[in-house]
Amino acid sequence: MRRLLCAFAALAFGAAHADEAAAPAPSPAQTIIAAAGAEGVFAAVDSASARHLDSGLLCRFQSDGLGGRIVLIPGLARGDDVACEFADADLTIRLYATRLPVRASLDELAAAAEEAVRRAIPQATADGAPQVSDAGATSPAWRARRFLIANENGARETLLLYVAQQGVWTFKLRYRALAPDDESVRRASERAELMWRGALADAQR
């Protein structure tokens, strides 16, 4: 009897370990969500992207998730102020979705976002006039502003700021890249606007 019980115990132990071995590893997107404590706020769409469930904001990460993170910003109700970020040595991209408790116009939101940049980065200087885009058939109206920054190493960077309002949600993009010359600034501006338009389209799906 004792041998029989031991045999059953060994089989059960082996089966449990087989189940553990068969369980798939979490995807990069699932790992990023878990690291932020954002379960129930974000959900993985595929192995390298996650969607904010309330606003529709889609966060796209590298295939291995390297440099990516999700942030639940404190101050509002959980999930009402979120961001997803990708960063490496030369580039930082941060997308925001915020549901404010009070209504504000798009121009007010854009002015507040610009002021937040100036507070966070005192050396940032506006480069050119604000960009205004009216609502289209598939896109909300949005505002944009470009800044130049002399960073702590003396290198020049550019920061592209975009703001849109869709229903009760405010979307923002901060795209910050090294820009040693005017051609680098132009290329960063083109890439940032392409990403911004894509992010707005993704949020409507």
Secondary structure, 3-state, the chain: CHHHHHHHHHHHHHHHHHHHHHCCCCCHHHHHHHHHCCECCEEEEECCEEEECCCCCEEECCCCCCCEEEEECCCCCCCCEEEEEEECCCEEEEEEEEECCCCCCHHHHHHHHHHHHHHHCCCCEECCCCEEECCCCCCCCEEEEEEEEECCCCCEEEEEEEEEEECCEEEEEEEEEECCCHHHHHHHHHHHHHHHHHHHHHHCC
Per-residue confidence (pLDDT) for residue 21, from 0 to 100: 53
Residue 145 has pLDDT above 70, yes or no: yes
* Sequence-ordered list of residues with C-beta below 8 angstroms from that of 144, at least 6 positions apart, any chain: 130, 131, 133, 160, 161, 162, 163, 193, 196
Per-residue confidence (pLDDT) for residue 151, from 0 to 100: 81
* pLDDT one-digit tens code per residue, 83-129: 999 998 889 999 999 999 999 999 999 999 999 999 999 999 999 99
Residue 176 has pLDDT above 50, yes or no: yes
